[in-house]
Structure 1
Amino acid sequence: MSLIGKEIQPFTAQAYNSANGEFIEVSDENLKGQWNIVCFYPADFSFVCPTELEDLQGQYAELKKLGVEVYSVSTDTHFVHKAWHDHSEAINKIEYTMIGDPSQTITRNFDVLDEELGLAQRGTFIIDPDGIVQAAEINADGIGRDASTLIDKIKAAQYVRNNPGEVCPAKWKEGTETLKPSLDLVGKI
């Protein structure tokens, strides 16, 4: 069942705040009042995961300019996140919050838990300021994600939210033409 258009479910978890090197508590309430990207990945100290999280860090400054906060989530603990941050060149660059989900609550809430392995799948979610999921992408374990695609998705989601009645066509870029669905457009696109 799709999570698009649904409010995120309640959760509370411990996290490693990479920006200041502290452990913090994060809940679903932290994901309200601003745009958010929640990026699930299978495991710390692994192979594809650090490349993805480092790539996401590469987009973090631009996402922050757009009013977006970023959270990564795996079923590891916040302690393991800190150890990984302290020992990996790629992960040491991360400035966003790394949420630990050893109870698998958040991973289940977002329907990205591989029950057999007890690990998160590669899921990326865009959540609006009301806590509603606006976009979701889930990849097979061996397929890494490209965080640069999130910039245009965020801009499109923000545009649609701020301009009711308009939609963004394929490959839409900020400043280009949008569509206003109407009877006049039927069969003309």
Structure 2
Amino acid sequence: MINTTIKPFNATAFKDGKFVEISEKDVLGKWAVFFFYPADFTFVCPTELGDLADHYEELQSRGVEVYSVSTDTHFTHKAWHDSSETIGKINYFMVGDQTGNITNNFGVMREGQGLADRATFVIDPQGVIQAVEITAEGIGRDAEDLLRKIKAAQYVASHPGEVCPAKWKEGEQTLAPSLDLVGKI
């Protein structure tokens, strides 16, 4: 999946109290996160979505849009948003993928279950996937670590010839791969 371009899709999302139509064309031109989760009204999912909501303003300041996706409908997303304090703070897109088209496009549909895996994709402004994280059902994701990966991806994109080492944080030293570094790290 890394370095592949997102596939075409059309869907209805719930955002800012409205139902909005979106497609892959809306994703192009800015950084994006596709945040797949199994189902609304569950247990680990709201903790992850709430954590992401707490970091949404910072993501927006970095030019990143967030699309949470499950195989629930956009109507279910609205009902969950209206009934849960945690989900009620979400301001990013909550995409309904009841046909499974988007989930299948990203290869994270659980066979025979009709549910998405717990998966995160970081997509650059050209629509190319730069990072992927997939965890087992019971393992929740961390929005701060996602933010760190986005910062690294944005840094590498804007600084050709440089790479970010393990645990890199914004402002720290990067590496410029060369023959001189072989065997010295």
TM-score w.r.t. the length of structure 1 is: 0.96
Q: Which 5+ residue runs of structure 1 have no aligned equivalent?
A: none
Give the deviation of 1:151 after TM superposition: 1.5
Indicate which of 112, 124, 131 corresponds to 1:116.
112
CA distance in 2, matches of 1:80, 1:114: 20
Partner of 2:12: 14
Q: Deviations for 1:2-23, whole angstroms, at most 9, x for unmatched residues?
A: x100000000001101xx2000
CA distance in 2, matches of 1:97, 1:83: 14
Alignment map for 1:1-189 (pairs within 5 Å) = 3-17=1-15, 20-189=16-185
Q: Which 5+ residue runs of structure 2 have no aligned equivalent?
A: none
CA distance in 1, matches of 2:33, 2:108: 15
Stretches of 4+ moved more than 4 A in 1?
none
SS in structure 2 at match of 1:24: strand
Please tell me the residue identity of whatever aligns with 1:172.
Answer: W
TM-score w.r.t. the length of structure 2 is: 0.98
Q: Deviations for 1:109-164, whole angstroms, at most 9, x for unmatched residues?
A: 11110012110000001000000000000001111111111111111101100011
CA distance in 2, matches of 1:102, 1:161: 34
Give the deviation of 1:65 after TM superposition: 0.9
Residue-pair matches, total? 185
CA distance in 1, matches of 2:123, 2:158: 15
CA distance in 1, matches of 2:139, 2:19: 30
Identical-pair percentage: 63
CA distance in 2, matches of 1:36, 1:52: 17
Give the deviation of 1:187 after TM superposition: 0.6
SS in structure 2 at match of 1:23: strand
Give the deviation of 1:89 after TM superposition: 1.2
Aligned-pair RMSD on alpha carbons? 0.7
SS in structure 2 at match of 1:91: helix
